[in-house]
């Protein structure tokens, strides 16, 4: 399946890259220090059609493909992987509502999702259920006034910052998905997590203590939440890989510039063949990662039976390769790479978590192997 880009797709990439360079990159370090992305950014993002990337045009979205999406997130992550990844979470939620919500849910939520007046977060992981997501314990009990939720979600990007949360919870013996609005009685948040990377994204536990939400806030069918979550993660894994790719590309671009200026032993260090070999290896890694990622996205768009396997493979391969490249770029900066002023250490810190979230890379191997064995 071809992964060559159309003129329209090139325009999408260049639009997102230009926006990131102007509106995100100059402020990324300050936002990291502040521990929060200013909400004034999101209307500008939405004005480009990036608030509802996977939402149909009928409901105010852009109706883009998964391949289009990875282009957007790669381009934005060249400015800041943390900001790009946060936007990808919001878009994953919007896509889930568009794909699985009923007409009432779509009319209720999607217009404000697309304008980013309502920022969404995704709540699956719990303190006792990370890789084993099906073991989650947050429970919803049906009552006359709605569903009463009790439980706690961990490591939630946008916890206490977002306007609404898609929460995976247990109803009876099955898992369902419900939407919980900020300000709902019984909803509270843990303290701000002090993280290695993604520091511009506020991350907190999301806690529910008898938190009652209307019956209409059930997303899709009762008992189908786990299937929705897994389907959402296929696209989420592509987006996280794309964010890793954009960050690593930015690190390599900065390294090329640095090596053309830095002198040692009477010449710029880009003249040393040993370092040229390292640059060549990095370029090969990023280009192969890019082709693999775009191929996996094309398979997901085509609804291929192999899409889940390829999404897992892309997430595993791309995030591992891109962290290695970014870390190698830090090494090639020498001591300067360890300083915040050069921007490389931030990329390394941001990209490390990409090997963990949306399913750890160990779990990606489990998914890949199971699909291989099932196909025998």
Annotated active-site residue 358? The verdict is: yes
Cα(51)–Cα(112) distance, integer angstroms = 9
* Residue whose C-alpha is closest to residue 84's, from 286, 298, 239: 239
CA 152-153-159 angle, to 5 degrees, is: 115
Structure tokens at 28: 């990324």
What is the per-residue burial (b if ≥16 Cβ within 10 Å, else e) of 128-140?
Answer: ebbeebeebebeb
Q: Say which of 221, 222, 358, 362 is annotated catalytic.
A: 358
DSSP 239-281: HHHHHHHHHHHHHHHHHHHHHHH-EETTEEGGG-HHHHHHHHH
State the residue for tokens 């993604």: 198
Dihedrals phi, psi of 138, to nearest 5 degrees: -55, 130
CA distance 315 to 320: 8
Q: How many residues does the chain have?
A: 376
CA 270 to chain centre: 34
**Dihedral sign from CA coordinates of 251, 257, 261, 263:** positive
343 by Cβ neighbours in 10 Å (0-12 / 13-18 / 19+) ranks as: middle
d(CA 103, CA 97): 10
Pair 295, 323: CB distance under 8 Å: no
| Neighbour tally for 279: CB within 10 Å | 17
Pairing of β 267-268 and β 174-181: unpaired
Please state, in angstroms and rounded to a whole number, the distance separating the CA atoms of residues 94 and 60.
Answer: 11
- Give the active site residues: 358
């Amino acid at each position: 399946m071809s992964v060559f880009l159309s003129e329209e797709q090139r325009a999408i990439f260049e639009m997102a890259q230009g926006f990131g360079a102007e509106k995100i990159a100059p402020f990324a370090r300050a936002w990291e220090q502040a521990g929060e992305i200013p909400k004034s950014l999101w209307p500008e993002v939405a004005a480009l059609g990036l608030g509802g990337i996977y939402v149909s045009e009928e409901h105010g979205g852009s109706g883009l493909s998964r391949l289009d999406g990875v282009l957007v997130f790669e381009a934005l992550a060249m400015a800041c992987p943390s900001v790009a990844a946060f936007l990808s979470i919001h878009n994953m939620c919007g896509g889930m509502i568009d794909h699985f919500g009923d007409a009432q849910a779509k009319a209720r939520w999607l217009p404000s999702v697309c304008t980013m007046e309502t920022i969404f977060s995704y709540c699956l992981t719990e303190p006792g259920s990370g890789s084993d997501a099906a073991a989650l314990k947050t429970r919803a009990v049906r009552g006359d006034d709605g569903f009463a939720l009790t439980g706690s979600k961990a490591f939630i990007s946008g916890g206490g910052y977002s306007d609404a949360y898609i929460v995976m919870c247990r109803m009876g013996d099955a898992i369902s998905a419900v939407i919980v609005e900020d300000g709902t009685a019984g909803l509270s948040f843990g303290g701000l997590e002090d993280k290695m990377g993604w520091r511009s994204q506020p991350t907190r536990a999301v806690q529910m203590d008898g938190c009652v939400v209307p019956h209409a806030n059930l997303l899709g069918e009762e008992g189908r939440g786990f299937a929705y979550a897994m389907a959402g993660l296929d696209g989420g894994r592509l987006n996280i890989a794309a964010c890793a790719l954009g960050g690593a590309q930015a690190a390599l671009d900065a390294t090329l510039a640095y090596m053309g200026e830095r002198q040692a032993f009477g010449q710029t260090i880009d003249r040393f063949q040993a370092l040229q070999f390292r640059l060549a290896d990095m370029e090969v890694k990023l280009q192969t990662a890019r082709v693999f990622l775009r191929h996996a996205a094309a398979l997901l768009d085509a609804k291929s039976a192999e899409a889940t396997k390829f999404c897992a493979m892309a997430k595993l391969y791309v995030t591992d390769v891109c962290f290695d490249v970014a870390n190698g770029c830090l090494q090639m900066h020498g001591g300067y790479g360890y300083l915040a002023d050069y921007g490389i250490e931030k990329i390394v810190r941001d990209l490390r978590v990409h090997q963990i979230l949306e399913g750890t890379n160990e779990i990606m191997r489990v998914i890949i192997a199971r699909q291989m064995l099932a196909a025998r």
